[in-house]
Structure 1
Amino acid sequence: MLLFGHPLIQTEQWFRVDLLSSIDLTPPNCTIVLADIEKYADIAKHCKENSVSFACEVSSIKQAVIANALNADYILCRDKRQAVEIQKVANEYLWSAKVISIIDDENDIESIAKLGIDGAVINSHIKSCLSQ
């Protein structure tokens, strides 16, 4: 199971962006986080073309399929039930993208592990680089 944002585990930084130009404000080797794959498809395509790691927050299986097709590294889910459904699809089609549940704190790690989700990110680990 992948785990991002736990104080004992060193991982790359994650930055939420909403403009292509905001990527320039992020440190090298970070993961770009997009709030909506359809709205920010241009940023996803840029990341794919430039080998920039990115994650997409999704609210449906359709969005998860699109995110995977655009080569997202991580597919983020806030709802645990939705994460389970998306994980089933990801397993069936052998997606390279990992399904990651957004959790509030480390107390949720065990429940995510029991559900068989690829991983979890503690919400506070995702920094903002949003336009004003």
Structure 2
Amino acid sequence: PVKNPTYKMVCTGNTGHAEAVKITFDPKVISYGQLVDIFWHVHDPTTLNRQGNDVGTQYRSAIFYLNDEQKKIAEKSKAEVDKSDLWDDPIVTEITAAGPFYSAETYHQDYYDNNQNQPYCSLVISPKLKKFRQKYADLLKQ
């Protein structure tokens, strides 16, 4: 993959990168397994190289792990979800070792908070947040 690509470069689908979120968490507060469970419930893991109307390898469904324990948790969880009736179609999420993480440009930081009225935010992100808040209310700070 290209080192430290720009958003415009990633959008070509030719850099090998995926648009992703880096999550820093305290395992005393929430476990890696809980985070993976949330992922399966609020994100569609069944569409190859696509999220909503966005198409390309940069939109692939992926879980990046940092160690063997996280890999095992993610793979076991994926197998369980694939066998369940949570999704009608097969899970296509790749589970792969994390490489370098490159932060998006400043104008992409806090994008939803700053652009809630944009069609993408209201049509794609807002429903996912609503689903998250309903299913995982007990995990949210009060």
TM norm. shorter chain > 0.5: no
TM-score by length of 2: 0.34
Greater helix share, structure number: 2
Task: Kindly name which structure, 1 or 2, has the bigger radius of gyration based on alpha carbons.
Answer: 2
Higher relative contact order (CA 8 A, sep 6+): 1
